[in-house]
Amino acid sequence: MCEEIISFLSQMAVTHIFTMEIQNVDQHEALLEEYGLLVPVVMDKDDELFRYGSDPLKLNAWLANCKNNSV
């Protein structure tokens, strides 16, 4: 599921302006504690857009408003 979200966001980065930072939860104890198996987690700065799966409506709304966001 993580690979699908990364692929989708990578494709969207061609037509939308945002930066993407990928963190492997398994390599960060604090993130592993916080999210566990509920990955992927997509965030815009400090705001969580969704976790464990995707919310296409919310993601499309975010992309429509995307100017210079960090994911």
Domain at 55, CATH number = 3.40.30
Structure tokens at 42: 């997509």
Q: How many domains does the chain have?
A: 1
Which tokens sit at 50? 């969704």
34: containing domain: 2-70
- Cα(36)–Cα(70) distance, rounded to whole angstroms? 22
Using CB atoms within 10 Å of the CB of residue 42, give its burial: 0 to 12 exposed, 13 to 18 middle, 19+ buried.
Answer: buried
**pLDDT per residue over 17-37, tens digit each?**
888 889 998 999 999 999 888
Give dist(CA 33, CA 24) in Å, integer. 13
Alpha-carbon torsion (70, 9, 23, 61), positive or negative: positive
Say what the pTM is.
Answer: 0.69
| pLDDT tens-digit series, residues 32-54 | 999 888 888 888 888 888 888 77
